[in-house]
Amino acid sequence: MDDLLPEWVAVEVAGHDDYTAALLPEEAAGLSERAVDSRRREFTAGRACARRALERLGVRGRAVPTGGNRAPVWPDGMTGSITHTAGYCAAAVGRRSDVWALGIDAERRTVLPANLHRMICRPEEIAWCEGRGDEDWWPAVHFSAKEVVYKLWSPLVGTWLDFLDARLTIDPVAGEFEARIDGKKLAESPGAPAVLRGRFHVTPDLVRSAGYVTAKDLPG
């Protein structure tokens, strides 16, 4: 993920041992006793990466518990994001003096079922994907990028953002995306950013996306 974010963001990608690392008590409280093994491993790796990223920014020994909205709760003065998919987990952390919100997401590069396209993509986005020839995995890129958009929106605005509330413009050559928030949603969200931006990278088996918001990106 560090190739998609500025150098002042600390990024850690999970290694083999992170999936079985020890959780701090405050972190373990956010994991259900009924959680299946795969969920436990992913959660554990995410917290291990988050704490290691915090250490790189000088914050040591601090837990990253789970909030009421299931999002990570970062230490005072810090913000970040965690993502995990099959075989991949990462965390990104920055100082609030540098960045107001961070979002990262990773997904397997897969062909999503057609019935999901209308849940993720607006009509113009579906048309764009259909125009990409045999590259039938572009809806998965939209899904990943919109996950990032939500992770940026949520801590800034504090409300839900649906997939269809954001209209993506993707530059496949530059590996960049721009999300314009629907006008109706903006009318309900005074002070919210109208545009959120990020970058993405696609390999034969993985889609990675990331974005961030600084003070200069906010209205007014």
| 181 or 70, higher pLDDT | 181
Span 181-194, average pLDDT? 94
| Domain shared by 6 and 24, yes or no | yes
User: How confident is residue 220, by pLDDT bands cut at 50, 70 and 90?
Assistant: low
Question: Residue 72 carries which DSSP code?
Answer: B
Say if residue 62 is in the same domain as residue 113.
no
Whether 122 and 33 share a structural domain: no
Sheet with 101-108, edge to edge strand ranges: 101-108, 206-213, 195-202, 176-181, 166-171
CA angle (162, 167, 170) in 5-degree steps: 125
Identify the burial level of 43 via C-beta atoms within 10 angstroms of its C-beta, where 0-12 means exposed, 13-18 middle and 19 or more buried: buried
Lowest mean pLDDT among 98-102, 112-116, 134-138, 216-220: 216-220
What pLDDT score was predicted for residue 35? 87
92 and 109: one domain? no
State whether 88 and 110 are in the same domain.
no
Q: How high is the pLDDT of residue 212?
A: 97
Render the burial of 13-37: b for 16+ CB within 10 Å, e for the rest.
bbeeebbebebeeebbebeeeeeee
Please give the Cα distance from 159 to 168 (Å, whole number). Answer: 19
CA Rg value for the chain: 17
CATH number (domain holding residue 61) = 3.90.470.20
**pLDDT at 140 (0 to 100):** 97
Number of domains into which the chain is organized: 2
Percent of the chain topping pLDDT 90: 90
Q: For 122-179, how does the pLDDT look when each residue is reduced to its tens digit (9 = 90+)?
A: 999 999 999 998 999 999 999 999 999 999 999 999 999 999 999 999 999 999 999 9
Q: Give the range among 4-13, 63-72, 107-116, 204-213 with minimum mean pLDDT.
A: 63-72
Structure tokens at 62: 């601090």
pLDDT mean over 72-76 = 96
pLDDT band at 219 (very low <50, low <70, confident <90, very high): confident
Q: Are residues 109 and 208 in the same domain?
A: yes
Average pLDDT over residues 70-74: 93
Are 177 and 159 contained in the same domain?
yes
CA distance 117 to 140: 9
Instruction: Specify whether 133 is located in the same domain as 156.
Output: yes
Domain membership of residue 220 (yes or no) is no
Mark which of 71, 96, 121 sits at the end of a domain. Answer: 96
On whether residue 178 sits in a domain, the answer given is yes
Task: Kindly state whether residues 9 and 92 are assigned to the same domain.
Answer: yes
Edge-to-edge strands, sheet with 78-85: 10-13, 88-95, 78-85
Q: Which domain holds residue 139?
A: 105-215
Reported as a pLDDT band with limits 50, 70 and 90, residue 33 is: confident
| 92 and 112 share one domain | no
Q: What is the mean pLDDT of the chain?
A: 95
Residue 70 and residue 114 share a domain: no
Whether residues 116 and 202 share a domain: the answer is yes
